[in-house]
């Protein structure tokens, strides 16, 4: 069971993460230890050669990981990225991308996760990210 609803996460994103507005992320699945987030097709994220930019894919991975953490521990605003690594595996064609974040380890102070990113019909993994988040010592919910 998720510790935050999709609606609560969307509200938190609108109110506290204004930079995310440009990406128009769509939360497709939210459950304890996982989140699936869609990055809708948008010409603004294309780079020369007709592929989706690396920074857009990194933002998708980072947001999906944040969603998975909040789904597990609740709306702790100050959970922040301490490390994000990404491998670009295949050239993503223009279109939606879906990140499927999964927590590998959740400790008192750190969370580690795995975020494969799929393009097109979901059959091709176009990138794979791993991320580590710092969790504040007192998990105070957002007010």
Confidence at residue 84, expressed as pLDDT on a 0 to 100 scale: 98
pTM of this prediction?
0.92
Domains of the chain, first to last? 6-134 (3.10.129.10)
* Mean pLDDT to the nearest integer, 52-79: 95
Is residue 1 pLDDT above 80, yes or no? Answer: no
Confidence at residue 137, expressed as pLDDT on a 0 to 100 scale: 86
Distance (Å, whole) CA 12 – CA 14: 6
- How do residues 74-101 score in pLDDT, each as one tens digit? 998 889 999 999 999 999 988 999 999 9
For 97-121, the DSSP string reads EEEEEEEEEE-SSEEEEEEEEEETT
Residue 64 CA: distances (Å) to CA of 6, 9, 113: 12, 11, 10
């Amino acid at each position: 069971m998720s510790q935050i609803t999709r609606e609560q996460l969307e509200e938190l994103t609108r109110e506290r993460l204004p930079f995310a507005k440009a990406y128009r992320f769509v939360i497709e699945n939210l459950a304890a230890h996982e989140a699936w987030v869609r990055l809708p097709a948008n010409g603004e994220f294309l780079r020369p050669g007709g592929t989706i930019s690396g920074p857009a894919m990194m933002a998708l991975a980072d947001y999906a990981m944040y969603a998975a953490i909040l789904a597990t521990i609740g709306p702790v605003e100050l959970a922040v990225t301490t490390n994000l690594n990404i491998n670009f595996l295949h050239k993503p064609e223009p279109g939606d991308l879906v990140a499927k974040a999964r927590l590998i380890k959740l400790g008192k102070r750190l969370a580690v996760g795995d975020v494969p990113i799929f393009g097109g019909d979901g059959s091709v993994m176009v990138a794979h990210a791993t991320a580590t988040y710092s969790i504040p010592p007192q998990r105070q919910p957002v007010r």
